[in-house]
Chains A and B, each alone.
Chain A
């Protein structure tokens, strides 16, 4: 009898605390679970193909080789080597991303053999003339945003949690983002980007997810549509490889100079 009472008490306390979880707390908990689900991927390489389309339907193509290294307790390191357009072939970009403090970025210009440290304040600027800005392509870190859980809803037949992200870092082009998260696989399916005036700017859709190392999901297609200027960019990822033996020294200014 006494035990039952205690169980009841504890149970209701637990239920109460869950119910009392604010939308902000729930949003943060979701973000943490998403980050945790992607922990331990180590290092990877992949090819990124970008098709830029303007309102008239004219296309322009970008091809980039990506190398990435997971850094525990900080943002990831990445190296991007451009293959197309051909006039920038051999140009390489090294980035050490951080949650709140500005990312460290270097650009290698092959014609001059020059490495330039560049400011990362261009977060809201377009990446290679595309509809993706630098911040859209940066690695996800929980500390980058404040969160607010909105609702659960079915999205294309998949159960999702809808969460609002408010950028915490400086120089963001957004007031907020609304993210549709598949909570079974802990992956985003759709993101709506709202500009600083809180008008809908862009919509990003992730698809063709494949699982690697039996754990980590990677979208092979990312479609970004700009609702204000009618332009769009389609990213197609291919040749994902994990455990490629990449190490810290492969993400250095020196490695940048010999990137090809």
Chain B
């Protein structure tokens, strides 16, 4: 199991204590959650190496501490840890945040490990490139690993400009070969290769401009550095897949038009690396019926088209090359904030479909129950999903917030 870079962890912890001890007048804040999770797989495993138990258990903790020296200076620390009864790679911890933030008159500086989200669409987070995705934790791509950074944000009349210097690349983690969702071949993350000679120490750069123009929210970004997505090469000696990380340049555009009942969304990238250059985009809308039949229930319809013309021979494979995503979002707007989201993403050429269903509801004032179902339907034999086509599962999560 590969955990967080040891040196970074020590640095972050030391920085945290130095700053906290130096401080004597300010404001401490603690918050977070602990969760218990049960996961049930619909079918028995396809591969001999995989654990045969169809029900797995897991526990997680995610505390956050912040110290506000004053309105302009703040330190934030957030760590996530999970224990999984079967998947040794899912048993992991990660420092999501450990940073100092300075808020100036028309600029801000973030120093340390942090998390950044870019984008507007629902079915794929295409332009969101700063943080590595924590796929071991959740297939939905919304869990991210903390990324060390120096971030300067300039707040100007012409928009907000973010400058990022990103030292210390975080490799993508995969389910353990003894666990479900791992596929037939072990992914050997201990022997990952890099195009850059400085390997995971390569310093990446990014630039992002955003602006709100009436009903439009637009963003442009530039990234130069290590691809967050690895290309998997087969090593026939060890019978393993070895991740390879290219150096890439990427420009991206994101835009949302907020209408009265409709949101139009677009994310697009153009990426060029050593052997491939390609265009990809996700675009579509979310239409909401507010207060259906004089009730307080909102029902939203999501439709997005996904396109990606990368060459799988040279670039990391994707499932979203020519797909339609369609979904429904229901918010009861009740006291317990009951919500429901179902999105199906279907490949236009072979009709392979990934269906993700999420439902959540608060219990009392501090508990929340969440259900998530992930299903692989109608999977074509040559689709990337075919390796996990029988790993359909339902996850139930009970969390306590403090």
Residues of chain A whose beta carbon lies under 8 Å from any beta carbon of chain B: 52, 54, 60-61, 84-90, 102, 104, 112-119, 121-122, 124-126, 128-129, 170-171, 173, 249, 252-254, 258, 260
Question: Are A84 and B263 closer than 8 Å at their CB atoms?
Answer: no
Minimum CB–CB distance for A246 against chain B, Å = 10
Those 5 A-B pairs whose CB atoms lie nearest each other, nearest first: A86-B401, A129-B335, A113-B117, A114-B117, A87-B368
| Interface: B48 (CB within 8 A) | no
CB contacts (< 8 Å) of A254 on chain B: these are 108, 153, 155, 160
Once A85-B365, A87-B399, A253-B210 are accepted as A-B contacts, the answer to whether A125 and B298 lie under 8 Å apart by CB is yes
Question: Are B258 and A129 closer than 8 Å at their CB atoms?
Answer: no
CB-nearest residue of chain A relative to B262? A119
Residues of B within 8 A of A (CB-CB), count: 47
Provide the bound-state CA to CA distance between A254 and B153, in Å. Answer: 9
CB contacts (< 8 Å) of B309 on chain A: these are none
Question: Are A118 and B258 closer than 8 Å at their CB atoms?
Answer: yes
CB-nearest residue of chain A relative to B334? A129
CB-nearest residue of chain A relative to B29? A260
Provide the bound-state CA to CA distance between A60 and B337, in Å. Answer: 12
Question: Are A129 and B365 closer than 8 Å at their CB atoms?
Answer: no
| Interface: B115 (CB within 8 A) | yes
- Interface-located stretch among B87-95, B238-246, B288-296: B288-296
CB contacts (< 8 Å) of A116 on chain B: these are 120
| Interface: B402 (CB within 8 A) | yes
Question: Are A258 and B101 closer than 8 Å at their CB atoms?
Answer: yes
Provide the bound-state CA to CA distance between A125 and B120, in Å. Answer: 23
CB-nearest residue of chain A relative to B78? A110
Provide the bound-state CA to CA distance between A253 and B335, in Å. Answer: 27
The contact sample of 15 A-B pairs, CB cut-off 8 A, is A52-B335, A61-B365, A84-B365, A87-B366, A102-B260, A113-B117, A119-B261, A119-B288, A121-B261, A121-B290, A125-B296, A129-B333, A129-B334, A129-B337, A260-B68
CB contacts (< 8 Å) of A128 on chain B: these are 337
Question: Are A112 and B261 closer than 8 Å at their CB atoms?
Answer: no
Minimum CB–CB distance for B188 against chain A, Å = 31
CB-nearest residue of chain B relative to A127? B333
CB contacts (< 8 Å) of A249 on chain B: these are 106, 155
| Interface: B259 (CB within 8 A) | yes
Contact of B31 among A89, A121, A170 (CB under 8 A): A89
| Interface: B37 (CB within 8 A) | no
Q: A60-B365, A104-B212, A104-B258 given. 10 additional CB < 8 A pairs?
A: A54-B335, A85-B337, A88-B337, A119-B259, A121-B260, A124-B291, A125-B333, A249-B106, A258-B103, A260-B66
Question: Are B263 and A89 closer than 8 Å at their CB atoms?
Answer: no
Contact of B290 among A54, A87, A125, A258 (CB under 8 A): A125
Provide the bound-state CA to CA distance between A86 and B29, in Å. Answer: 13
CB contacts (< 8 Å) of A60 on chain B: these are 335, 365
Residues of chain B whose beta carbon lies under 8 Å from any beta carbon of chain A: 29, 31, 33, 66, 68, 74, 101, 103, 106, 108, 115-117, 119-120, 142, 153, 155, 160, 210, 212, 217, 256, 258-263, 288, 290-291, 296, 298, 333-337, 362, 365-368, 399, 401-402
CB contacts (< 8 Å) of B108 on chain A: these are 254, 258
Provide the bound-state CA to CA distance between A174 and B212, in Å. Answer: 31
Provide the bound-state CA to CA distance between A128 and B160, in Å. Answer: 30
Once A60-B365, A88-B337 are accepted as A-B contacts, the answer to whether A253 and B160 lie under 8 Å apart by CB is yes
Minimum CB–CB distance for A250 against chain B, Å = 9
Once A117-B217, A129-B334, A254-B153 are accepted as A-B contacts, the answer to whether A85 and B298 lie under 8 Å apart by CB is no
CB contacts (< 8 Å) of B260 on chain A: these are 102, 119, 121, 170-171
- Listed residue (A90, A114, A116, A119) with the most chain B CB atoms within 10 angstroms of its CB: A119
Question: Are A117 and B261 closer than 8 Å at their CB atoms?
Answer: no
Minimum CB–CB distance for A86 against chain B, Å = 4
Provide the bound-state CA to CA distance between A20 and B122, in Å. Answer: 58
Provide the bound-state CA to CA distance between A102 and B115, in Å. Answer: 32
Provide the bound-state CA to CA distance between A253 and B209, in Å. Answer: 13
Question: Are B366 and A85 closer than 8 Å at their CB atoms?
Answer: yes
CB contacts (< 8 Å) of B212 on chain A: these are 104, 117, 253
CB contacts (< 8 Å) of A102 on chain B: these are 260
Question: Are A86 and B258 closer than 8 Å at their CB atoms?
Answer: no
CB contacts (< 8 Å) of A114 on chain B: these are 117, 119
CB contacts (< 8 Å) of A85 on chain B: these are 337, 362, 365-366, 401
Question: Are A112 and B142 closer than 8 Å at their CB atoms?
Answer: yes
CB contacts (< 8 Å) of A260 on chain B: these are 29, 66, 68, 74
Provide the bound-state CA to CA distance between A252 and B212, in Å. Answer: 10
Provide the bound-state CA to CA distance between A87 and B338, in Å. Answer: 12
Provide the bound-state CA to CA distance between A128 and B337, in Å. Answer: 8
CB contacts (< 8 Å) of B402 on chain A: these are 86
Question: Are A117 and B210 closer than 8 Å at their CB atoms?
Answer: no
CB contacts (< 8 Å) of A104 on chain B: these are 212, 258
CB-nearest residue of chain A relative to B62? A111
Provide the bound-state CA to CA distance between A114 and B210, in Å. Answer: 14
Minimum CB–CB distance for B220 against chain A, Å = 15
CB contacts (< 8 Å) of A252 on chain B: these are 155, 160
CB contacts (< 8 Å) of B160 on chain A: these are 252-254
CB contacts (< 8 Å) of A126 on chain B: these are 296, 333
Question: Are B256 and A117 closer than 8 Å at their CB atoms?
Answer: yes
Contact of A122 among B106, B116, B290 (CB under 8 A): B290
Provide the bound-state CA to CA distance between A81 and B291, in Å. Answer: 25
Minimum CB–CB distance for B15 against chain A, Å = 19
Minimum CB–CB distance for B181 against chain A, Å = 22
Question: Are B362 and A87 closer than 8 Å at their CB atoms?
Answer: yes
Provide the bound-state CA to CA distance between A90 and B29, in Å. Answer: 11
Contact of B263 among A119, A173, A253 (CB under 8 A): A119
Provide the bound-state CA to CA distance between A85 and B399, in Å. Answer: 13
Question: Are A87 and B401 closer than 8 Å at their CB atoms?
Answer: yes
Provide the bound-state CA to CA distance between A173 and B119, in Å. Answer: 32
Provide the bound-state CA to CA distance between A114 and B115, in Å. Answer: 10
Provide the bound-state CA to CA distance between A26 and B128, in Å. Answer: 55
